[in-house]
Amino acid sequence: MSEADHAHQPRSAVPFWTVAVVLTLFLTGASAPSPMYALYASRWDFSPTTLTAVFAVYAIALLAVLLTCGGLSDAVGRRPVLLAGIAVQTLAMGIFFAADGVGWLFAARVVQGVATGLVTAAAAAALLDLQPRLSTVGPLVNALAPSVGLALGAVGAGALVQYAPAPLHLTYAVLVVLLLGSAVATALLVPGATTRRPVSLRPRVSVPRAVRPAFWAALPVLVSTWGLGGFYLSLGPSLVLNLAGSSDRLLGGALPAVLCVSGAAACLVLNTRTPERMMQAGTVMLLTGLLLSVASIAGGTAAGLLASTFVSGAGFGSAFLGAFRSLVVRADPARRGELLAAVFTAAYLSFSLPAIVGGLVATRVGLQPTAVGYAAVLSALAAVALALRVVAARRPAPVTV
């Protein structure tokens, strides 16, 4: 069989879905500690500032690895980078399991950030490499996997913490078993590199010149969506329990879960639209949900907050998918890891820095007023993103994937 004939053979879907499971599992691990933060805080007596610092060191470590290793899988192949990330993530779960003080939480989150930084760009690029030909499923799964994983982590850990024995240990034991299984599947099913090029760990964020206009146009969408996700995963569980006057950890995990489930559903419903239309529709829903959230938090209504989160979550998922698709269509396949590292660097900066500020402010003025102000700021940013999308919609539509 000639190389041309081989190129037109249908790809097996098994490697693609193996990578999808790995990426989902990593995001499950990222949100799993969220329902436990309030319990950790009560046992070890630390403030919202410390809580968001624990949350933030994860993103800082992740960003450091993305900047140095974001293009590593372009050089050595996707499989070895995925396997290295899984090994480091398993170590992080072990540190969480052994934690008996806040210092252990910092250590676990740093190690987890390193692991996720290794896997994020490699997995995202692998999903584009391995997607069935003439398919748009790669960008869709790249947007769905974080939402599904974050929701599974929040709800699953919340349920185990509330109803199962060993509330601060069982979740991590389950994740270790799943990670070991994913390592075996990755080693056996994900193809290795077909070509190699020199490895460089020089810190860099690479956005090719041809992609830069689309990148800057998508940036307000990335900042507003991931800024919302960061706050809900750090202080969101404590906020909804505060509003409801409850100590049910499953309820605490419900807020980030609603955000992510709604986001995943919106991705599925709106996937056939152009990236520009998805971003425009997503920012409308994001802005609407955020304004409703401001009213719900100010009124002290937990049910209203959950309902408004469903609306803003739909905007979170669809706007991010539209932004992602608008960029990856322009990516050189040999440099996908570098571009995706730049995308996720912007995303995780938006994910972490506002949450740190929120924790500092909450320590001084209280969680509820901080949440109102945070949602109001994000509403203003979403309004700017929407205005830019309306202007962009008047131009010729970009190519879709």
Secondary structure of 146-207 in HEC code, one letter for each residue: HHHHHHHHHHHHHHHHHHCCCCCCHHHHHHHHHHHHHHHHHHHHCCCCCCCCCCCCCCCCCC
pLDDT in tens, 285-308: 999 999 999 999 999 889 999 999
For the chain, first and last CA: distance in Å?
A: 29
- Conformation bin of residue 205: beta by default, left when phi > 0, alpha when psi is -120 to 50: beta
Determine the distance from the C-alpha atom of residue 71 to the mean position of all C-alpha atoms in its chain, rounded to a whole number. Answer: 19
Task: Classify residue 44 as exposed, middle or buried by CB count within 10 Å of its CB (0-12, 13-18, 19+).
Answer: middle
The average pLDDT across 224-252 equals 83
Q: What is the mean pLDDT of the chain?
A: 84
Tokens standing for 122? Answer: 């490699």
- pLDDT score recorded for residue 396: 58
pLDDT in tens, 111-121: 999 999 899 88
Residue 400 has pLDDT above 90, yes or no: no
Cα separation, 114 vs 118, in Å, equals 6
Angle, alpha carbons 323-325-329 (nearest 5°): 130
- Better-predicted residue by pLDDT, 337 or 2: 337
- pLDDT score recorded for residue 2: 35
- pLDDT score recorded for residue 8: 42
SS3 333: helix
Domains and CATH numbers, the chain: 13-189+207-393 (1.20.1250.20)
Cα separation, 28 vs 177, in Å, equals 13
Of 397, 112, 364, residue with least CA distance to 280: 397
SS3 261: helix
The average pLDDT across 177-204 equals 79
| Greatest mean pLDDT range, 115-129, 165-179, 315-329 | 165-179
- pLDDT score recorded for residue 11: 64
User: 99-103, 135-139, 202-206, 335-339: which range is least confident on average?
Assistant: 202-206
Spell out the residues 6+ positions from residue 284 whose beta carbon is closer than 8 angstroms to its own.
315, 386
Of 63, 332, 25, residue with least CA distance to 197: 332
Residue 194 has pLDDT above 70, yes or no: no
Q: What is the DSSP string of 302-329?
A: HHHHHHHHHHHHHHHHHHHHHHHHHHHT
